[in-house]
Amino acid sequence: MNCLEVHRDIGVHEVADRRGNAFQLDERAFHANVEQVRRLLPPGTKIYQCAKGDGYGVGVERIVCLGVRAGVDGFCLGTPEEALRAKCVAAGRPVLLFAGCDPAALGEMVEAGIIVSISSVEGCEALLRSGATGDVFFKLDCGFRRYGLNEPDLRTVLARVRRQSSVRCIGAYSHFGSRADEIVDGGLPLFDRLTRLIEDAVQRPIETMVASSTLILQRPGLGHSAVDPGRLLYGMMAAGPEMPPFQPIVPRISSRLLQVTPFDEARLLTVGYADKTAIPAGGATGVFPLGWIDGLSAHRGFGEVLIRGTRLSVVARTLQHSIVNLSGLSDVRVGDEVVLVGAQGDEQIGLEAMASAQGMSVTEAHFRLLAAIAAGVPNGRQHG
């Protein structure tokens, strides 16, 4: 698969599996979000697009191709497998593997042209023992207390790196997530001090990256050489009150009715694994092929969907299916579209509303549901 195969033109593309589920991917929205991020940053700041979690559920190849066509400067991935897939379609742009790789696999990644993260003394030692030659970033712990090099460990790593020529540090990054201001206020000066320590040791400037989506919005003028946004580029975060909104790149998620069961008489049914549901005379239930194995809620609070422009309640959910109460609709048929996110007729359900009904964050819903659909797409293809 290459970028020309995935995207023949800039527009809205449908990604559909064989079960009848689909989502729309709006490349125009992605381009607009990239440009809006650039406007928030000091001139010359590089954008390393975060594409972890199989491209935020969309698929690594699809999301990286969007980035290539929108002109981002590099990519950040979460697993070795994702990084290798991204490398195949990244059109020569740098691919950075975030911390989380087995130290024993770091040499293989470097030999494949992946920029790996050194986040521990042990990882550094394993990479040097491998004999691989290539570039690395140092992951610095500046307050998040998750993983990364603290100052003593950084000094140990720098001493080892200075004594060899096969591994070259070209950058450093840290991560604050959505932490409180006091964590950021304390961490940023530490990051700057540690990066100066690195530059003094390697005797050249390095790439410095500390701002992901939240920090870009909170402090757009930080002045580091690169940023690594994810949710902003995908339109999953609200902008500031005086900013244009970031546009969702997945404006629609849908399914299809696989079965319709009408009832001539009023019934009190145990539908699926849920509690009893009252179906009036002349009512019906319908089944669509998305269940809790696809990331939807397995408990009460199944949410609503749109069918024929009407908002309807999902009354039960199984491993692979959801059951919706169709009472009140006429002439509903197998094959009718079921909209989980998007507009149909005069009604609309946003991703935030869908996620909230499932008891999930927008990020969780995006990762889970899209990944389930994308996993079933034949040969990674999509419709233009």
Is the pLDDT confidence value at 8 over 70? Answer: no
With a cut of 80, say whether residue 270 has pLDDT above it: no
Same domain, 312 and 369: yes
Least confident of 266-275, 281-290, 366-375: 266-275
- Same-domain pairing of 189 and 310: no
Q: What is the pLDDT of residues 154-200, one digit of tens each?
A: 999 999 999 898 999 999 999 886 655 777 888 899 999 999 999 99
Is the same domain home to 219 and 336?
Answer: no
Average pLDDT over residues 334-359: 95
CATH (domain of 374): 2.40.37.10
Question: Is 346 contained in some domain?
Answer: yes
178, 193, 227: which is the final residue of a domain?
227
Q: In the structure, what pLDDT confidence band is assigned to residue 288 with cuts at 50, 70 and 90?
A: very high
Instruction: Tell me what the pLDDT averaged over the chain comes to.
Output: 90
pLDDT at 9: 65
pLDDT at 145: 67
- 219: confidence class by pLDDT, cuts 50, 70, 90: confident
Answer yes or no: is pLDDT of 346 > 60: yes
| 254 has pLDDT over 50 | yes
| CA–CA gap between residue 49 and residue 63 (Å, rounded) | 9
Q: Is 225 exposed, middle or buried (0-12, 13-18, 19+ CB in 10 A)?
A: middle
Please enumerate, as own/partner, the contacts of 325-328 that have beta carbons within 8 Å and a separation of 24 or more: 325/277, 325/279, 325/283, 325/285, 326/260, 326/283, 326/284, 326/285, 326/286, 327/279, 327/280, 327/282, 327/283, 327/284, 328/283
Strands 310-317 and 322-325 come out as: antiparallel
What pLDDT sits at residue 379? 63
In this prediction, residue 4 carries a pLDDT of 39
Other C-beta atoms closer than 10 Å to the C-beta of 272 total 18
In a domain, 349, yes or no: yes
Same domain as 288, residue 222: no
Q: Looking only at Cα atoms, what is the longest distance across the chain?
A: 83
Q: Is 12 domain-assigned? A: no
**Which CATH number is 153's domain given?**
3.20.20.10
Residues 123 and 203 in one domain: yes
Confidence check: pLDDT of 2 > 60: no
Instruction: Examine the pLDDT at 92 and tell me if it is beyond 80.
Output: yes
195 and 87 in a common domain: yes
| Residue 267 clears pLDDT 80, i.e. is over it | no
The whole domain housing 302 covers: 253-380
Together in a domain, 52 and 137: yes
227 pLDDT more than 50: yes
Does the residue 21 lie in any domain?
no
One domain for residues 80 and 208: yes
Give the pLDDT band (50/70/90) at residue 383. very low
Give the rounded percent of residues in the chain with a pLDDT score beyond 90: 72
Q: How far apart are CA 316 and CA 325, in angstroms?
A: 9
In a domain, 39, yes or no: yes
pLDDT in tens, 231-245: 999 999 888 777 788
Domain ends where: 180, 211, 227? 227
Pair (146, 277) in one structural domain: no
| pLDDT classification of 124: cutoffs 50, 70, 90 | very high
Task: Considering only CA atoms, give the Rg of the chain.
Answer: 24
Distance CA 60, CA 54 (A): 5
Give per-residue pLDDT as tens, 135-146.
Answer: 999 999 987 667
| Residue 20 located in a structural domain | no
User: Both 94 and 149 in a single domain?
Assistant: yes
| Residue 272's pLDDT band (cuts 50, 70, 90) | low
The answer to the question of residue 4 being in a domain is no
Residue 19 lies in a domain: no
Residue 382 predicted with pLDDT over 60: no
- Indicate whether 185 and 260 sit together in one domain: no
Q: In the chain, which residue ranges form alpha helices assigned H by DSSP?
A: 3-6, 27-40, 52-56, 60-70, 80-89, 106-111, 121-130, 151-162, 181-202, 213-218, 351-357, 362-374
Residues 92 and 200 in one domain: yes
Number of independent structural domains in the chain? 2
Q: Give the pLDDT score at 3.
A: 55
41-59 average pLDDT score: 95
Q: Check residue 275 and give its pLDDT.
A: 65
